[in-house]
Homo-oligomer: A and B are copies of this chain.
Amino acid sequence: MRLEGKPVADKIIKEVKASISLLIEHNIKSPCLAVIQVGNDPRSSVYVKNKEKEAKKAGIISETIKIDEKISKEDLIKQIQSLNESDKYAGILIQLPLPQHLKESEIIEHLSPIKDVDGIHPDNLGKLMRGTPYLTPCTPTGVIEILKYYKIEISGKKCLIIGRSNIVGKPLVFQLLQENATVTIAHSKTQSIEDEVKKADILFVAIGQARFVRGSWVKDGSTVIDVGINSLTREDWEKKGFPITDSIEADFKKKGYAIVGDTYFEELEDKVSAITPVPGGVGLLTVAVLMNNTLKAYIRQKNLENHLSEWKNL
Most B-side CB within 10 Å, residue of A120, A155, A170: A170
Contact A185 B182 (CB under 8 A): yes
Residue of B nearest to A184 (CB): B184
Complex: how many Å from CA A120 to CA B155? 26
Q: Which of A21-29, A125-133, A216-224, A269-277 lies on the face that meets chain B?
A: A125-133
What distance in Å separates the Cβ of A89 from its nearest Cβ neighbour in chain B?
Answer: 22
Residue in contact with A187 in the complex, picked from B131, B182, B190, CB distance below 8 Å: B182
- For this chain, the copies found in one complex come to 2
**A124 sits at the interface (CB 8 A):** yes
Q: Which of A38-46, A93-101, A172-180 lies on the face that meets chain B?
A: A172-180
Contact A182 B186 (CB under 8 A): yes
What distance in Å separates the Cβ of A112 from its nearest Cβ neighbour in chain B?
Answer: 13
Residue of B nearest to A180 (CB): B189
Complex: how many Å from CA A122 to CA B133? 10
Complex: how many Å from CA A270 to CA B123? 44
Contact B174 A182 (CB under 8 A): no
Q: Besides the contacts A126-B126, A130-B166, what 12 more A-B pairs have beta carbons closer than 8 Å?
A: A105-B130, A121-B126, A122-B126, A122-B130, A123-B126, A126-B127, A129-B171, A170-B174, A173-B185, A182-B184, A183-B184, A184-B184
| Interface of A toward B, CB cutoff 8 Å | 105, 120-127, 129-132, 155-156, 158, 164, 166, 170-171, 173-174, 177, 180, 182-187, 189-191, 196
